[in-house]
Amino acid sequence: MNIGELFSKGGFVMWPLLLLSILSLTVVIERVLFWWKILTRERETAGRVLEAAQRDWRSAGDLARSATDQPIGRFLNAGLELKDQEPDVVQLAMEASAQEELAAMHKGDKILEAVIAIAPLLGLLGTVLGLINSLGSIRLGDLGTTATENVTLGISEALITTATGLIIAILSLAFYRVFQGLIAQQAKIFQKAGNELELLYRKTWSSQDTGRIAKRTNSSAIAPDPSGTSAEAAEPS
């Protein structure tokens, strides 16, 4: 029995199951391509940006801007483009960017969740309708005759929709769990890279702040007296 025969014997419920399978397959293919692009370049991009940040913030910002087609690039760039701001401002900007990127990674989740929930129910509905149709045709005088064999065949065909719905739901659930695991992994990578960049920024900001204070102190020490008279000249002879 080929797929076409199974589909035709499954009844009209096979059509919505086919639609659910197409929706699930579309989401899975799009998400696989999305994650493939991220996972093949992400660690290299983060390493290059953080390494450059240890030497020069300008070059690190250039590297992050060149990688804004990746979530990790946009995340790091959110902090690097605010290099003249206070560390707390940079931290808030990176946290907001991380939340936005992680939310975008959940694209398609609602569709997969719907398929996982609806497909088995549709399969069960098709089986119940098939059983009603098969058992409803039995008459008391047909027991033990070839008519009951046809009923048995009808019951086996009615179970096709349940099996189809379960297969669609199981495969969708498997990919859904994989995608959720990848999102959790991304959250850890964002947190680690963000902490490293924030630490480097706070060190740089602290040294710059110390330099600014020292510069103001030196300027105050060498500034002339506005009255134009020295302390010695002010003393009586």
Taking only the tens place, the pLDDT of each residue in 29-70 is: 999 999 999 988 888 889 999 888 888 888 888 898 988 889
Question: Which residue type does 140 have?
Answer: L
- Mean pLDDT score of the chain: 81
pLDDT at residue 191, rounded to an integer:
92
pLDDT at residue 231, rounded to an integer:
43
Average pLDDT over residues 113-138: 86
Taking only the tens place, the pLDDT of each residue in 141-180 is: 555 555 555 666 667 777 889 999 999 999 999 999 999 9
Taking only the tens place, the pLDDT of each residue in 65-81 is: 988 889 999 999 988 88
pTM of the model: 0.77
Ordered by start, the domain boundaries in the chain are 18-135+148-214
Taking only the tens place, the pLDDT of each residue in 98-117 is: 999 999 999 999 999 999 99
Residue 27: partners with Cβ closer than 8 Å, 6 or more residues away: 108, 111, 112
Residue keyed to tokens 């300027």: 219
Q: Enumerate long-range contacts of 180-186, CB under 8 Å, 24 or more apart.
A: 180/109, 182/35, 182/39, 182/105, 183/102, 183/105, 183/106, 186/38, 186/71, 186/101, 186/102, 186/105
